[in-house]
Structure 1
Amino acid sequence: MSADRDEVPAELVRLWRLPAPASGLGRPAALDTERVVRTGVELADRDGLPGATLPRIAKELGVSPMSLYRHVGSKDELLVLMRDLALGSPPGTATAAGTAAGAAAEKWRAGLRQWAVAQRLVNHHHPWLPRLPIAGPPTGPHEIAWMEAGLGALSGTELDWAAKVGSLTLLSGYVRHASLLVQEHAQGRSGTGLSQEEAERAYARSLARLITPERFPQMALLLSSGTFEAAPDGAYDDPVSDHDFVFGLECVLDGIAVAVDRARTATGPRPTP
């Protein structure tokens, strides 16, 4: 890191793990930002986000809560640090730069699909992650790396920078919504012992007794179509291959494809390499 540490705000020093100046006072401290934040992530994974409080972290580490403030400035900063650590490194996505138009279209789409699926898996492993408030644009090293990977996937398109950022915001927002929806469905089923597939079947069978073609013609057709009966057991077990997620993801990518094609038409054909 080339930045002068004295010119970087303290919260970014901690977020980017910039080295602290040597104190010359003997052994290094046993506690550091990395250990505090990693413990917070472990608690959130185990007990949910409410379990990752500074007092709980201090208890887990066997230190006083006040000692944590040398390494984490506040609860809000802790959440920012936890988010960046939990995100980890993004997948390596292929770029479409320097390829013919048809091949470039396949590359950017495959790259963004891989990017979105990887985010969905991160949210699956850390269910609290999509519940964190989004306070602003990416600032942490892992967040920036994910942004870099997404921009890299779009690098061979004629989209301008605003459109590229907008595309990534749209796509990550869809993944976040899909992750939260799965959690909310699971919470709604809690206590019933039903899987998502079983809950959908029960939903269709109970409403079929109430919905008539005269009052709700389209809903009646939907319920009689067998759509809710069609999902086999285990259809929703894989967080990245269930029909609802895949269908929505492809629809979002279709929308980005329209913007990519429009930008290509506006700028004219690229010279053949």
Structure 2
Amino acid sequence: MGNEHAEVVRLLWGPHPVPARGPKPKLDLERIARAGIEIADADGLAEVSMQRVAAQLGVTKMALYRYVPGKAELVALMVDAAIGAYPQPQPQRQARAQAQAQGEVEGAGWREQLEEWARRLLGVFRSHPWALDATVGPRVMGPGELSWLERAVSALDGTALTGAERMDAAVLLVGHVRGITQQARAAGPEGNPEAQLGAVLADLMQAHGERFPALTAAFASAARSGGQDQAWEFGLQRILDGLAAYIDRS
């Protein structure tokens, strides 16, 4: 393990020594992470600093450094706390999943499980859009975030997919979730990005439709269907269709 990752691993995975004597510590890692999340949710990840988190907690920056050595480690804690552990299934869902695993229920249970998984993940990124910036590139993931990957991979138990292919399926769904969330964030709090772009492109097609007949017909069809924000649902279902076809062939 590289030295640059050792501290992140310790903070995310423990153990966290508890003083046997003396006064109870004023802070803990959960409180620190939550303070950072509040700042990031309100003002974005760029506004998170050790100084501001310390002020939010009512302590000095030097006091905060006793718990977290720097911003990189702070952000790692924030990500795992914001994403959290994947929600445990309700008893009826557990029973259904067990029945499916035993072949007692017809149909592909993996599809419903992955669809629910993707919708939950979309909700997380919509609640904490700064996490898009904090989850780019190679990094150490915490137990909460890894529980999501575990859930997606285990949903494909009983299929012919290899372990690597199950991981790739999860990454494919994550990419769709991230893409949709990034589009929404870029559009800002006002309106739907597809609706805004569609209005501009519709005007362009009116003026230059003879040059782009296929696009003109496509935009007209979308307008008739009243389709706004369909990219999420269409993309999700086509990814799952593709997985279903691949599983059937395997």
- Which residue pairs with 2:17 in the alignment? 20
TM-score (norm 2): 0.84
Residue number among 63, 83, 99 corresponding to 2:103 in the alignment? 99
Q: Which amino acid aligns with 1:247?
A: F
RMSD, aligned CA:
2.6
**How far 1:56 sits from its partner (Å)?**
0.8
Q: Kindly, what percent of the aligned residue pairs are identical?
A: 32
Q: Give the whole-Å Cα distance in 2 for the aligned partners of 1:19 and 1:27.
A: 16
Higher helix share: 2
Q: Which amino acid aligns with 1:203?
A: V
Residue number among 39, 42, 45 corresponding to 2:35 in the alignment? 39
Unaligned runs of 5+ in 1: 1-7, 236-241, 264-273
- Which residue pairs with 1:221 in the alignment? 217
Contact 1:84 1:142 in 2 (8 A): yes
1:163 and 2:165 are equivalent in the alignment:
yes
Structure exhibiting the larger radius of gyration computed from Cα positions = 1
Q: Which amino acid aligns with 1:250?
A: Q
TM-score (norm 1): 0.77
**How far 1:183 sits from its partner (Å)?**
1.2
Q: Give the whole-Å Cα distance in 2 for the aligned partners of 1:21 and 1:198.
A: 53
- Which residue pairs with 2:233 in the alignment? 246
1:87 and 2:87 are equivalent in the alignment:
no
- Which residue pairs with 2:66 in the alignment? 70
**How far 1:226 sits from its partner (Å)?**
4.6
* Structure-2 change in CA distance of 1:221 and 1:21 (3 Å): closer
- Once the two structures are superposed, what CA deviation does each residue of 1:221-242 show, in whole Å capped at 9, x if it has no partner? 234x25236437xx5xxxxxx4
Unaligned runs of 5+ in 2: none
* Structure-2 change in CA distance of 1:92 and 1:161 (3 Å): same
- Which residue pairs with 2:208 in the alignment? 211
Residue number among 133, 136, 141 corresponding to 1:134 in the alignment? 136
Aligned length: 238
**How far 1:206 sits from its partner (Å)?**
2.1
